[in-house]
Amino acid sequence: MVASRLHLVRHGEVHNPARILYGRLPDYHLSTAGRGMAQAAADHIADLERPVTALFASPLERAQESAQPFAEVFGLEPETDVRLIEPTNVFEGTRMKRSLMNPLNWWHLRQPALPSWGEPYASIAERMLGLMGEAWHESSGGDLVMVSHQAPVWVTHLRVAGLPLQHDPRTRRCALSSITSFELVGDVWREVAYVEPAATGGAVDVGAV
């Protein structure tokens, strides 16, 4: 058997009072509000009354913590897969706006189509779709949930939609704890739904870019 639907879920809000671009740095955990967002995402998929048979998560703490409500609701053990991780970024550990004011950093912005400041968009799409296809075909049926990060989810959306991967990070349609759902028809991925089940209006950290 193969899966029925695959849901890419972005993690909830991170506790980040210093407004650091945390990237792959350790010890960045969900805020109290972020835990509620993750629960809202899990509750939304439960309300769809579709069987969920597998759960995957990025190795970073915020994704692991966002996967826990799904684990509890569906009785699944999350499988950690590095292909769901946040992309590399040379600005990691800094405050982005301050970094961009420094002319010494402008070199990293020379090729936004790649992008030159971190992992190429094509690489992100390749690893995400590789995992998605592998998990889909190895499934025993039902839906799959993968908890990841804003950039991987958005780049996957662009690739599936046949759109250019180059984009302004500030324009991403990928809210905290949002769910972007796909189906594989033949050998072609199709996006079938996008929802924002969590209330994020009061979020302090919505994803540094």
Query: Which CATH number covers residue 59?
Result: 3.40.50.1240
State the burial class of residue 59 (Cβ atoms within 10 Å of its Cβ: 0-12, 13-18, 19+): middle
Question: How many domains would you assign to the chain?
Answer: 1
Residue type, 166: Q
Q: What is the pLDDT, as a whole number, of residue 209?
A: 46
* pLDDT tens per residue across span 156-194: 999 999 999 999 998 999 999 999 999 999 999 999 999
Residue pair 115/122 in contact (Cβ under 8 Å)? The answer is no
Residue 204 in any domain: the answer is no
Residue pair 207/150 in contact (Cβ under 8 Å)? The answer is yes
Residue 179 in any domain: the answer is yes
Residue pair 103/86 in contact (Cβ under 8 Å)? The answer is no
CA distance 161 to 97: 31
Residue 72 in any domain: the answer is yes
Regions of the chain where pLDDT drops below 50: 209
CA distance 80 to 42: 18
* pLDDT tens per residue across span 127-146: 999 999 999 999 999 999 99
Residue type, 26: P
Paired tokens of 190? 């199709």
Q: pTM (2 decimals)?
A: 0.95
SS3 at position 116: coil
For the chain, the residue count is 209
* 43 closest CA partner among 74, 13, 12, 14: 74
* 2 closest CA partner among 132, 130, 157, 127: 132
What range does the domain containing 112 cover?
Answer: 5-195
Residue 148 in any domain: the answer is yes
Residue 138 in any domain: the answer is yes
Residue 200 in any domain: the answer is no
